[in-house]
Structure formats: structure tokens, C-alpha cells
């Protein structure tokens, strides 16, 4: 029998049972992809992060939803960094992950962590036919990113009231749909939907903010932004725009330490 460690970390919040939960699993070597996918499905969280011991200054890192592997994930990267710093005992202030999106860096701050991710400038496009009806609200701007489709609406309450047609969203040729508006107490708010990846609504989506941050930085004329993802669990992020990079600051807390037992 093979025994693997598992940590469940609540990311982008300072309290357990808030933010976005991610499973984090250290491995000695990569398991077969179908087994990694089966573990992620068993965990049944929006992401399970698997990482290997450090190689050439970076930890190889992969992310799986219950349905498939993804190219970039923010909250599970934050969760993995928290596990390395707080649970495994890395003492230096900065670590690097090698991923499908290249090198990602996480710095330990006095409170929380800073993710250094590639920015996604996006391209303004016409809204896909039927999108406004599927959202049940008027659309101001539509932006196609590398992975996601970003929709801008006028008011925070429109984002809060969304009850979108997930079957329609699932047919869009994007990883998922982000809906965002100016915030009443922060610079901007958002909600994120990923039915194609087995996630009706993601509680907090770090990778979405690589697209959100450049848009709102340019729109609001400021590079430092306070953001909230207003899902039921709520996420808290501080965002900084640096041209081709985005810094995302957030906290994380350990909810669970456990073991996974697999047959040999």
C-alpha cells in the first residue's frame, strides 16, 4: 500500500471555511495521469495540487479539477506555497514552481503571500450570441483571455444576483466565464463559473485575476487594486499590475492534515 500526505488549505482568506479550499499532495515522483485525475475526483474540490521535490531551484507543480488538468491555477498555487512554508518547513522567503504556465513565484509576506504570475491582457470582442440572456443581465464589455471569457457589467449587485445558465456557459469555447463590476467597498468584484471543468462556481479564482487586474488597472488608472470574489465563501485579494506580470497577495490557512491510502 502507498501512503500519501494530503493537506487541505483554504486559500485567499484568513479564516478556515472561507476562501477556496484546495487539496495539496506532495509526491516523490509523478503518478500516472489517470491516477492523479482519479484522486482529484475523489477529493472533489475545485483543485487538487500535486508537486514534486525541488529540482534545479523549482518545485514541479500540476493542478487537477475533478474533471481535468488545468494550465494555471492561483488558489491551489497559494495553497501549495502555504503547505511548503507552514507545514513542511521551507524557511527561505521565496519559492518557485515550474508549471504548464512557466515559472511561478510565491513570496512569503509579513501577513500572507504574494503570487507573481504572468498577466493576461485579453482582447475585447463582441459578446457571444445569447450570452446576455444566459446571464440575465446587461453586458458592458466582453474580453477574451488566454483561458477565460471576462464579462464586465455596470454594478456590483448585478454580479451578486447572477444565476447564470450553466449549460450555456459550458458550451462556450473557453475554460470558464468571469463576471466583474466596480465594487462598492473595493475596486472591483467578480464571480467565476467553470462548468466545463466540473465546477459550477469557483469560490476564489487566482488565475482569473491575471485577466481582471490588467483590465481594471487600465480602466481605473491605478496599478494597486483591492478585489473581492463575492461567492458564498468569499475571497480577498490585493492585486498589483506590472505590465507582463501580476502580483496577487492573499492569505491561507490549513484546514486539514491527512493521509491517502492507495493500493500498490
Q: Which burial class, exposed, middle or buried, applies to 90 when counting CB atoms under 10 A from its CB (0-12, 13-18, 19+)? A: middle
**C-alpha torsion angle, residues 175, 66, 60, 247 (rounded to 10):** 50
Alpha helices in the chain (DSSP H): 33-43, 74-82, 131-135, 156-160, 166-171, 209-220
Is 47 an active-site residue? yes
Which one, of 91, 94, 92, 93, lies nearest residue 104 by Cα? 94
Catalytic residue among 34, 47, 54, 87: 47
CA dist 254 → 49, 109, 171, 182 (Å):
14, 17, 35, 31
Q: What is the DSSP letter of 160?
A: H
3-state class (DSSP) for residue 23:
strand
Q: Which burial class, exposed, middle or buried, applies to 223 when counting CB atoms under 10 A from its CB (0-12, 13-18, 19+)? A: middle
First-to-last alpha carbon distance for the chain, in angstroms, is: 5
Phi (first) and psi of residue 248, to 5 degrees:
-125, 115
- The answer to whether 21 touches 9, Cβ cutoff 8 Å, is yes
| Residues classed as catalytic | 47
Amino acid at each position: 500500500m502507498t501512503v500519501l500526505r494530503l493537506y487541505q488549505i483554504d486559500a485567499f482568506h484568513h479564516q478556515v471555511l472561507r476562501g477556496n479550499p484546495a487539496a495539496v499532495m506532495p509526491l516523490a515522483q509523478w503518478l500516472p495521469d489517470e491516477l492523479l485525475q482519479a484522486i482529484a475526483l475523489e477529493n472533489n474540490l475545485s483543485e487538487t495540487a500535486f508537486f514534486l521535490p525541488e529540482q534545479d531551484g523549482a518545485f514541479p507543480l500540476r493542478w487537477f479539477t475533478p474533471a481535468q488538468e488545468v494550465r494555471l491555477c492561483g488558489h491551489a498555487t497559494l495553497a501549495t506555497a502555504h503547505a511548503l512554508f507552514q507545514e513542511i518547513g521551507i524557511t527561505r522567503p521565496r519559492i518557485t514552481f515550474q508549471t504548464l504556465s512557466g515559472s511561478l513565484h510565491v513570496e512569503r509576506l509579513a501577513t500572507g503571500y504574494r503570487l507573481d504570475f504572468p498577466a493576461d491582457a485579453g482582447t475585447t470582442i463582441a459578446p457571444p450570441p445569447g450570452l446576455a440572456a444566459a446571464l440575465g443581465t446587461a453586458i458592458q464589455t466582453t474580453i477574451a483571455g488566454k483561458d477565460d471569457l471576462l464579462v464586465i457589467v455596470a454594478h456590483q449587485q448585478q454580479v451578486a444576483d447572477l444565476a447564470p445558465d450553466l449549460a450555456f456557459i459550458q458550451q462556450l469555447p473557453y475554460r470558464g466565464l468571469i463576471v466583474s463590476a466596480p465594487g462598492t467597498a473595493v475596486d472591483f468584484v467578480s464571480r467565476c463559473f467553470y462548468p466545463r471543468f466540473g465546477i459550477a462556481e469557483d469560490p476564489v479564482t487566482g488565475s482569473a485575476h491575471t485577466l481582471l487586474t490588467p483590465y481594471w488597472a487600465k480602466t481605473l488608472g491605478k496599478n494597486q487594486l483591492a478585489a473581492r470574489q463575492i461567492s458564498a465563501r468569499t475571497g480577498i485579494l490585493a492585486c498589483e499590475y506590472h505590465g507582463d506580470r501580476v502580483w496577487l497577495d492573499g492569505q491561507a490557512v490549513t484546514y486539514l492534515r491527512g493521509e491517502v491510502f492507495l493500493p500498490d
